[in-house]
């Protein structure tokens, strides 16, 4: 299968607290992506500073840290054909008000500061984020029998 890659998808504290994470898992699974890692965790400030390193100088960064440490995060890794780009499409625009109906943010979020979910924006960033949130031994390699029914 060509273009097989992995992406990091995190359901943020608002998505966990509102019980939206089962719908996220359902949508990625039904699209045909393979779940290779999952954990419910409290994100430490140090991890978040590294994860959001490109945003540390932004005026909203302290509130982002406060939000992301306010409750548990469901961290996941998904594998499949063009999963980074396709995963971003499932999420919708970063600003929920610009997200189309049928996307996760379009269906469940209204405010940019509570936009439910994070998804890697490139394969390079996905690899960095996966390594940041998961140890190598936490990633499960297995043959997904469904792939024969999804890919030619």
Binding site for ATP: which residues? 12, 60, 88, 94, 105, 115
Residue 118 catalytic? yes
| Given 6, 34, 51, 118, the catalytic residue | 118
Report how far residue 7's alpha carbon sits from residue 80's, in angstroms, rounded to the nearest whole number.
Answer: 9
Report how far residue 98's alpha carbon sits from residue 112's, in angstroms, rounded to the nearest whole number.
Answer: 10
Residue 133: HSE in the Cβ half-sphere, 13 Å Cα cutoff? 30
Report how far residue 13's alpha carbon sits from residue 131's, in angstroms, rounded to the nearest whole number.
Answer: 21
Report how far residue 17's alpha carbon sits from residue 117's, in angstroms, rounded to the nearest whole number.
Answer: 12
Binding site: which residues? 12, 60, 88, 94, 105, 115
What positions carry a catalytic annotation?
118
């Amino acid at each position: 299968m060509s273009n097989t890659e992995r992406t990091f998808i995190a359901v943020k504290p608002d998505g966990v607290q509102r019980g939206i994470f089962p719908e996220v898992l359902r949508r990625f699974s039904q699209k045909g992506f393979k779940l290779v890692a999952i954990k419910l965790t409290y994100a430490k400030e140090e991890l978040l500073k590294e994860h959001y390193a490109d945003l540390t100088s932004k005026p909203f960064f302290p509130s982002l840290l406060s939000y992301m440490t306010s409750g548990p995060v469901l961290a996941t890794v998904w594998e499949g054909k063009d999963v980074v780009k396709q995963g971003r499409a499932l999420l919708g625009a970063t600003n929920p008000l610009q997200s189309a109906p049928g996307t996760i943010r379009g269906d469940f979020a209204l405010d940019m500061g509570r936009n439910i979910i994070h998804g890697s924006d490139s394969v390079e960033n996905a690899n960095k984020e996966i390594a940041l949130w998961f140890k190598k031994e936490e990633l499960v390699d297995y043959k997904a029998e469904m792939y024969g029914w999804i890919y030619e």
